Each structure stands twice: as structure tokens, then as C-alpha cells.
Amino acid sequence: MTIGILGGGITGITIQRFLNQESEILEASSKPGGLCRTYWKDGFGYDIGGHILFSKHEAINTLVDKLLEGNLNSCKRANKIFYNGHFVKYPFENDLAALGKEEAFECLIHYIRNTYPKPNNLKEWAYYTFGKGIAEKYLIPYNEKIWNIPADQLSLEWVDRIPKPPMEDVVKSALGIETEGYLHQLYFRYPTEGGAEGLIHALMKEKSNITSNFKISSIRKKSDGWEVSDGSKTKTYEKLVLTFPMHEAIKCFENVPAEVLSAIDGFRYNSMRIVFLAVNDESLMNHSAVYIPDPEVITHRVCYMGYFSKKLVRPGTSSLIAEITTNPGDGVFEMTDSECIEKTIADLNRIGLIDKEKIITTDLQRVKYGYPVYDLSYSKNVKIMRDWFKSIGVTLCGRFAEFEYINSDECMKRALSVAQELNTR
């Protein structure tokens, strides 16, 4: 076989789809899709988080439209932030009037009279970019929940993902004049049928050569290529593209320099619990997502599956998923599935986002690798890791292989580039 693609998430599947050479995907689980998989329970479908499709890259939007032709739901974002007991439109800085006059004034005056010095970490960046009001009421508490680390320990490599609003918008929003922020994701795409996984099936429709249940445990360089094994079967390839999580991948290689092992050991990542709740009415249908900065509530974001596609809920019902970031030792990590579900229900019921009496079914998925975390040693460590893989001739592509906070659209874009490069070599 010419090319071995290690890992069958959206990155690996996109690479294969656009390669014009023979290739095989090796995937540890019984089904491909990775983080883009959709799970089903009692007639309800749900994803690993709010898996909506949007991109700054028009070529990717066009590709997604083509792949999902006949199965495409176009949606307008209806995200809210649940702040101090009421809803504020997302992003926060575009709906300051919803906070009431005193708080809106506080946000606005600090935004305008902002003399914070140039930032070195996310906390400083929040003050520097948005001022004390917006930083302390929303940005810092929300980010400390999703990243599960104090904001002054987060570096700035990823902040270009947070668009900076024009000053006119912030002033208008404080005065109650309607504005929209984060325009690149105001409209998004989602498969009508099949949940987020619908895109995986669309990619696999024309071409798919996947060996499932193949958990790679060793990767060895040979004089004429590579040997990849799961401990019982061995496959050989001329070239490799590695798309599965780096923390797992590095264990498969021999003679890894100590510096590389230590860099990868230094990568911080967040695990997730995805709690699914369905209710016997349509009350969870009117938002796309609700962001919850309140540290007393276990989840930082809930997404309403029926808003993305009605095919994910049974008639007359609705559902949400609660995204929870967790790491060993934080108390959530140690919870059983039912304890985590119970805590989520209790918190959402307390703040009024659900009525616990109406719940008809629940479920939970554990995700080991959810978010790569950009701590202060991120850049140094990532460079050491990437340089080494380059030196041994293994191409890295994807969220946890490259160890970068990228969404499916960026994974697809990079996968296309890798495929094109391999096609021309």
C-alpha cells in the first residue's frame, strides 16, 4: 500500500477522499469519524459538542455545500449567554444593553478608557482588548471554565479566533442598537440527516478504504517505508500521514529523543464529558447554543440539537447537550457517568434552562482529547515536536496530531493541502 493514514477522523477521511494514490486508513474504533461522530439514543441524535460547520475559507464552505447537496440545513446562529439570570445575545460585547444601564455603562466606560499595557497572557489580553467590565463579567470566567486553567496561564497563540469588535458596535450595543458580531459564524451549515457525522458519510461516499478496530501500537521505520502494527497485525506503507492524537502516537515510536518526549509530555489537553438530555416538549428548540460563564454551573455551554436539525429529535420533544471540560483531580473527572448527569440536570434546572420533571432520556460520552490547551510553554513544545516528525519524514495533520486548536473546517483545509502535496510528489 502506498499511503497509510493513521486515524479515521475527519482529517484522515478528507485526506483519503482527495488522494489520487492508493491509501488505507487505520482507525482504532469500530466506526470512523472521531470527534465528528454522532451518537443515537431512544430516537435522539447528538454530537460531541455543538458541531456546526462554518469557515473563513470560502473553498471549504463550497466543498461542504457540494458534499452535503440534498442533505444541507442552513441555519442562522441564535446563541445566547446566560448571565446573572438572564439572556444576553452572543457575543457578549454585541448586546451590552441587555445587562441593564449600570452594567452596560461599566462595560462601555472601561472599554473606551482602557489603559492596560500590552498583554502577555489571556487574562491581560481580555483587559487590554475589552476593558475590565467585559473581561470580568464574561470573557475571563467563561474562558476559565472552558480551558479549566487560570486565564493568566493561557498564552495568546489562539486569540485570533476571538474576533475584535469595531468600537462602533460596542457603543451601539450599549445603547441598545442591534449589532451582530463574529459574522463568519452568523450563518452555519449542518447536515439535515445524520447529525455532524453526515459530513463524514458524505466524504466516504465516493472513496473509502478503512480498517476499523485497528488500534495502532507501534510504528517502525524500515529502509523502504513504514511498518504499522496493532500488536497482532502488521501493515506496510511507503508514506505515512499521522492524524491521531499525539499523546497516543508518540508511544508507538522507538528511539524518540528525550527532548521530544518531554515536549509532548508538557502538552496540556482537556478532556470532556458530553451530557445529553431530552425533554418531552419543544422548550429546547429556540436557541442554537447557550454559553454559561457562572462557575457554579458544571457546564460552560449547552447546544440545542433540534435547532441544528429537527431530525435529531422525536416529534414534540427537544434536547440539548452540555459540554463539560474536565481534568484529573478536578472532582468532575472522578464522577461516575450518572453522578455527572445528575449534577448537570440539577444545575440546569436550578438556573431555569431545563425543567427536570420533563426529562425523558439522558446519555453521556467521555472524550479523552477534547481541547489542546495553549499554556505558556505551548509554542516551545509544539516546535520541538513538529521538527522531530519532520526530521523522520512523517506528515502530521489534524487537531490532536498537530496539537492545535482547529475546527473541522481547518482540518479539512489542511487535509486537502496534504492530499495535494502527496499527489504531486
Residue ranges that bind ligand FAD, judged by CB under 6 A: 6-12, 26-29, 34-36, 48-53, 215-216, 243-245, 248, 272, 323, 370, 398-400, 406-409, 411
Which grid cell is 145?
A: 471554565
Closest distance between ligand FAD and the C-beta of residue 288, in Å? 10
Q: Which is nearer to ligand FAD, 86 or 161 (CB)?
A: 161
Closest CA to 288 of 69, 147, 80: 80
- Pairing assessment for the beta strands 44-47 and 38-41 based on DSSP bridges: antiparallel
- Pairing assessment for the beta strands 239-242 and 395-396 based on DSSP bridges: parallel
Q: Give the Cα separation of 266 and 261 in Å (integer).
A: 9
Q: Give the Cα separation of 1 and 23 in Å (integer).
A: 6
Q: Which is nearer to ligand FAD, 215 or 356 (CB)?
A: 215
Q: Which is nearer to ligand FAD, 12 or 293 (CB)?
A: 12
Closest distance between ligand FAD and the C-beta of residue 25, in Å? 9
Q: Which is nearer to ligand FAD, 323 or 363 (CB)?
A: 323
Closest distance between ligand FAD and the C-beta of residue 190, in Å? 9
Q: Which is nearer to ligand FAD, 170 or 297 (CB)?
A: 297
Q: Which is nearer to ligand FAD, 77 or 110 (CB)?
A: 77
Closest distance between ligand FAD and the C-beta of residue 271, in Å? 10
Closest distance between ligand FAD and the C-beta of residue 29, in Å? 5
Strands (E) in 98-176, as ranges, are: none
Closest distance between ligand FAD and the C-beta of residue 342, in Å? 21
Listing DSSP states for 333-388 in one string gives: TTS-HHHHHHHHHHHHHHTTS--GGGEEEEEEEEEEEEEEE-BTTHHHHHHHHHHH
Closest distance between ligand FAD and the C-beta of residue 106, in Å? 32
Listing DSSP states for 1-55 in one string gives: --EEEE--BHHHHHHHHH-SS-EEEE-SSSSSBGGG-EEEETTEEEESS---B--
Q: Which is nearer to ligand FAD, 153 or 229 (CB)?
A: 229
Closest distance between ligand FAD and the C-beta of residue 223, in Å? 24
Listing DSSP states for 277-329 in one string gives: EEESSSGGGS-SEEE---TTSS-SEEEEHHHH-GGGS-TT-EEEEEEEEE-TT
- SS3 per residue for 11-26: HHHHHHHHCCCCEEEE
Q: Which is nearer to ligand FAD, 111 or 369 (CB)?
A: 369
CB-CB contact of 38 with 195 (8 Å):
yes
